[in-house]
Amino acid sequence: MALTPSPLAYVPFVSVENMMKLVHRVGVETFLKELADRIEDDFRRWPLFDKTPRVAAHSADGVIELMPTSDGETYGFKYVNGHPKNMKDGLQTVTAFGLLASVETGYPVLLSEMTVLTALRTAAMSAMAARHLAPDNARVMAMIGNGAQAEFQALGMKAVCGIDTVRLWDIDRRATDKVVRNLEGSGLTVVACASAEEAMEGAQIVTTCTADKQFATILTDNMVGAGVHLNAVGGDCPGKTELHRDILARSTIFVEYPEQTRIEGEIQQLDPDHPVTELWQVITGDAPGRTGPDQLTLFDSVGFAVEDFSALTYVRDKLEGTDLFDKLDLLADPDDPRDLFGMLQRAAP
């Protein structure tokens, strides 16, 4: 009796090593640009996605979240954590993996690492939002928080929005030095700054990407001038915010999925009916984006399941014709679907 699993039992698995090979094969900036376009395409067909605020399990030190969605044909989810204290112990703040499945059969069709992919998709998402909201000819970006996401964010804004300068600030100088090193030769002018205020001088795009479980005030109202686009990435959990409430009061606020952002985003500091614009409606032309040069726009990013779906389906398509995956014997699929026990019996040593 053959004990070889059926072809459907084997699910393509993208390891961290293969993900990194894929990114290098495509090119980091091309990857970011193509992923931004893929996310935008999916935002354009937003109404057909199954949507729910992610399912979060909180603890004193962090959060573990499940992020499911489906476009009716393909189902996807990401498992992701957020543990700001990890970094001090030499661990990643954010790690993730994700899966795609066929809606028709429920069978998984792809399993992938998503720690690297989340950094890429978050940067692609930030850049896609900035493409619609940042002032025309934005060339200078401030990057507040120089951790794991930082270089991805800077390169995303370069590839998609054409920024040529990034001004860096982090409370830990070693983080800033790391970004300076890593972005050498990227084509960006990289400036290490001595404060958040200094980093924001002359910046048309300001990204905050810090990690703290407590309400933090990374930016206060007096620091933010008119006409800037704020890209607030680090505030993404109940009790975890980065911007002073007064900044929110004078910003035009754009969000991914209001039901989730009101729980997790900067706007958790505001009344539950404070007006916000859903970014997908800007993309479809149903709502205005930036309406003037002095407007303060805020993308209150928390990360939504559709972006991870876009990232996974992008990777699935890019894998075609490559050997950048392993075949994982993930699924029990006996020839006779009712003979699961028989399959086990036949495997007896």
- Length of the chain in residues, anyone? 349
| Distance in angstroms (rounded) separating the CA atoms of residues 302 and 251 | 17
Provide, rounded to whole angstroms, the least separation between the CB of residue 36 and ligand NAD.
14
Q: Are 192 and 168 in contact (CB under 8 A)?
A: yes
Provide, rounded to whole angstroms, the least separation between the CB of residue 322 and ligand NAD.
26
Residues 6+ apart with CB under 8 A from 159: 29, 30, 32, 33, 36, 127
Residue 10: beta bridge partners? 329
Cα torsion for 223, 137, 284, 209, to the nearest 10°?
Answer: -40
Closer CB to ligand NAD, residue 6 or residue 220? Answer: 220
Closer CB to ligand NAD, residue 96 or residue 161? Answer: 96
Greatest alpha-carbon span in the chain = 75
Provide, rounded to whole angstroms, the least separation between the CB of residue 105 and ligand NAD.
30
Cα torsion for 98, 256, 262, 266, to the nearest 10°?
Answer: 100
Provide, rounded to whole angstroms, the least separation between the CB of residue 70 and ligand NAD.
20
Q: Which residue is nearest to ligand NAD (CB)?
A: 147
Closer CB to ligand NAD, residue 163 or residue 209? Answer: 209
Closer CB to ligand NAD, residue 83 or residue 158? Answer: 83
Catalytic pick among 170, 236, 300, 308: 236
Closer CB to ligand NAD, residue 54 or residue 316? Answer: 54
Sign, Cα dihedral of 178, 83, 152, 217: negative
| Distance in angstroms (rounded) separating the CA atoms of residues 99 and 182 | 30
First-to-last C-alpha distance (Å) of the chain: 13
Q: Which residues lie near ligand NAD (CB under 6 A)?
A: 82, 87, 93-94, 118, 122, 144-149, 169-172, 175, 209-212, 216, 218, 233-234, 236, 301-303
Provide, rounded to whole angstroms, the least separation between the CB of residue 10 and ligand NAD.
31
**DSSP string covering 256-289:** S-HHHHHHHSGGGGS-TT---EEHHHHHHTSS--
- What is the residue whose two structure tokens read 């090193």? 181
Closer CB to ligand NAD, residue 11 or residue 306? Answer: 306
Left (φ > 0), alpha (ψ -120 to 50) or beta: where does 124 sit? alpha
Question: Is 236 an annotated catalytic residue?
Answer: yes
Provide, rounded to whole angstroms, the least separation between the CB of residue 100 and ligand NAD.
19
Closest CA to 100 of 312, 280, 261, 273: 312
Closer CB to ligand NAD, residue 93 or residue 277? Answer: 93
Provide, rounded to whole angstroms, the least separation between the CB of residue 3 and ligand NAD.
42
Rg over alpha carbons for the chain, rounded to the nearest Å, is 21
Catalytic residue positions, numbered = 236
